[in-house]
Chains A and B, each alone.
Chain A
Amino acid sequence: MGNEAEASIGATFPDIVAFAVPAFILLIILEMIFARVTGRARYETRDTFASLSMGLGNRVAGLIGGSAIAYACYSFVYQFRLIDAIPTVWWSVLLCFIADDFAYYWFHRVSHERRWFWASHVVHHSSQHYNLSTALRQTWTGKFSFTFIFGLPLVVIGFSPEMVLFVGGINLVYQFWIHTEAIDRMGPFEWIFNTPSHHRVHHATNPRYLDANYAGTLIIWDRLFGTFVEEAQEDRPRYGIVKNLATFNPVLIAFHEWIGIAKDVRSAKSVREVFGYIFGPPGWSPDGSRMTSRAVKERWRSMRAAQNSPAE
């Protein structure tokens, strides 16, 4: 045990995302060829350029301080950890990974349900295509808007900041390959793990698929908390956001929702409205003139019920 405890002190972890980049590029090339040959996936050059630029910008945002803010915050909180000296061994990394995946589920769910976090996360959903390049369409503002707070409980438990960031990287790398239309259903693997089919549902704007499948690696969290939706053969997923962007400009993609929040806050007539515009669900408005995803889903349900009811 003593050796194990010592192993956690000063343990360093590789930057797994950086190591995975060559594989990302190779797989994107292969998927582009697959798309061209079979037609079972789709690429559009301007969309691909936008996605890759967002990925690059995400790395730059990390370099210019985003990662440092997260690491500094984790390091500060780590001083007050509940369990001292969790060793850096396979089982602790596995435990940390599962705990991080659980935290990721909630981070991801809140990122869809609260506009403050959605403003960063919307970037990842802003493509109307669904391919491996979409996986790299990442936020530039996430760390600066404190999305990393969802990992803080892990540090409070006693997992080192390095380990938490490492397993977060593994989770991110896992999620790369599920951004594809090239892989259909995967049988029993889908019971436990997040798969292309599950994640297609998550990226779809079809009303039946909204607010579903928030999992990172393990789909069990969605099954457990009632947010799991199966991909339906008769309802092919259509990707993007409820109000699709009309631009491939990376800067606009990165900041459009923040600009929207700023405009709304400027027009707010009370503190309640300010709070609603910032922390309410995306699509919230004081008079209900805009639609939240819940309202879109309700509209779909009522229209379906009306279609199915016998004519009078």
Chain B
Amino acid sequence: MTGNPLFDLLISVVGILALVGFSVSLGGLSTIDITREGACERLAFDEPDFEPETWLIDDRKRSAFAVNRKGELAVIFPMGAEAATRRFAPGAFTCDIIGREVTIRADDHTWRAITLRTDDPLTAARWAKSTLSLGAGTGETRKANGRTGATNG
């Protein structure tokens, strides 16, 4: 544009920041709520052959976990104004439960760990128990209130 590549890049950076600022001013920084209905709909689109048996929905509407009969886990989480899904085979993830919080981790470089907060510790524990009975979480599962143990489903 100007013949000086560095100056051109500087102009581009300023242009990007201006556009991003404009987008913010128009209310572009929104994050989708993950509701039961929304999670079901997203899961049905992304993984149509996944038939959820149990659901766990985040208290703050930031994520949802579903487990099917085969013990596979589906995680639905927000990506800005949209939602996205990850599906894990039994044993392909770890599940940490500390108090009201359930954290799922997996070896996936495009995905971060997701922590879901339940309304009370019992809900998390109950979900973990039913999940394990379905065969999911064959990786390490740590449970409840700082006490750490390893459970294989």
A residues sitting closer than 8 Å to B (CB atoms) are: 18-19, 21, 25, 28-29, 32-33, 35-36, 42-49, 52-53, 56, 59-60, 63, 128-129, 133, 238, 240, 242-248, 252, 256, 259-260, 263, 299-300, 303
Can you name 13 extra interface pairs (CB under 8 A) apart from A44-B23, A129-B82, A240-B82?
A21-B12, A47-B80, A47-B81, A56-B16, A59-B8, A59-B9, A133-B19, A240-B84, A244-B84, A246-B77, A256-B110, A263-B109, A300-B48
| Residues of chain B from 51 to 108 with CB closer than 8 A to chain A in the complex | 77, 79-82, 84-86
Q: With a CB–CB cut-off of 8 A, which chain B residues contact A244?
A: 46, 79, 82, 84-85
Are A256 and B29 in contact, CB atoms less than 8 angstroms apart? no
Q: With a CB–CB cut-off of 8 A, which chain B residues contact A63?
A: 5
Q: With a CB–CB cut-off of 8 A, which chain B residues contact A248?
A: 79-80
Are B85 and A48 in contact, CB atoms less than 8 angstroms apart? no
- What are 18 A-B pairs at a CB distance below 8 A? A18-B1, A18-B8, A21-B15, A32-B19, A43-B28, A47-B80, A49-B23, A56-B9, A56-B12, A59-B8, A63-B5, A129-B81, A240-B82, A247-B112, A248-B80, A252-B110, A256-B109, A256-B110
Are B111 and A49 in contact, CB atoms less than 8 angstroms apart? no
How many whole Å from B39's CB to the nearest CB in chain A?
14
Are A246 and B110 in contact, CB atoms less than 8 angstroms apart? yes
With A56-B12, A128-B82 as known contacts, state yes or no: A45 contacts B29, CB within 8 Å: yes
Complex CA gap A69/B22 in Å reads: 37
Q: With a CB–CB cut-off of 8 A, which chain A residues contact B13?
A: 56
Are A303 and B1 in contact, CB atoms less than 8 angstroms apart? no
Q: With a CB–CB cut-off of 8 A, which chain B residues contact A46?
A: 29, 80
Are B9 and A60 in contact, CB atoms less than 8 angstroms apart? yes
Complex CA gap A267/B142 in Å reads: 29
How many whole Å from B93's CB to the nearest CB in chain A?
14
- B48 to chain A: closest residue by CB: A303
How many whole Å from B84's CB to the nearest CB in chain A?
4
Are A303 and B49 in contact, CB atoms less than 8 angstroms apart? yes
How many whole Å from A66's CB to the nearest CB in chain B?
13
Complex CA gap A283/B45 in Å reads: 18
With A43-B28, A59-B12, A246-B86 as known contacts, state yes or no: A25 contacts B45, CB within 8 Å: no
Contact with A along B1-40 (1 / 0, CB 8 A): 1000100110011011001101110111110000000000
Q: With a CB–CB cut-off of 8 A, which chain B residues contact A60?
A: 9
Q: With a CB–CB cut-off of 8 A, which chain B residues contact A25?
A: 15, 19
Q: With a CB–CB cut-off of 8 A, which chain B residues contact A260?
A: 109-110
Which of B29, B30, B49, B84 touches A299 (beta carbons < 8 Å)?
A: B49
- A206 to chain B: closest residue by CB: B45
With A25-B15, A128-B84 as known contacts, state yes or no: A43 contacts B110, CB within 8 Å: no
Complex CA gap A21/B49 in Å reads: 44
Are A44 and B28 in contact, CB atoms less than 8 angstroms apart? yes
Are A36 and B27 in contact, CB atoms less than 8 angstroms apart? yes
Which of B15, B20, B26, B49 touches A36 (beta carbons < 8 Å)?
A: B26
- B75 to chain A: closest residue by CB: A246
Q: With a CB–CB cut-off of 8 A, which chain A residues contact B85?
A: 244
- A126 to chain B: closest residue by CB: B110
Are A299 and B48 in contact, CB atoms less than 8 angstroms apart? yes
Q: With a CB–CB cut-off of 8 A, which chain B residues contact A28?
A: 19
Q: With a CB–CB cut-off of 8 A, which chain B residues contact A19?
A: 1
How many whole Å from B45's CB to the nearest CB in chain A?
6
Complex CA gap A16/B49 in Å reads: 47
With A32-B26, A36-B26, A247-B112 as known contacts, state yes or no: A52 contacts B80, CB within 8 Å: no
Q: With a CB–CB cut-off of 8 A, which chain A residues contact B5?
A: 63
Complex CA gap A21/B15 in Å reads: 10
Query: Which 5 A-B pairs give the minimum distances between C-beta atoms?
Result: A45-B28, A244-B84, A128-B82, A44-B80, A45-B23
Are A48 and B49 in contact, CB atoms less than 8 angstroms apart? no
How many whole Å from A101's CB to the nearest CB in chain B?
26
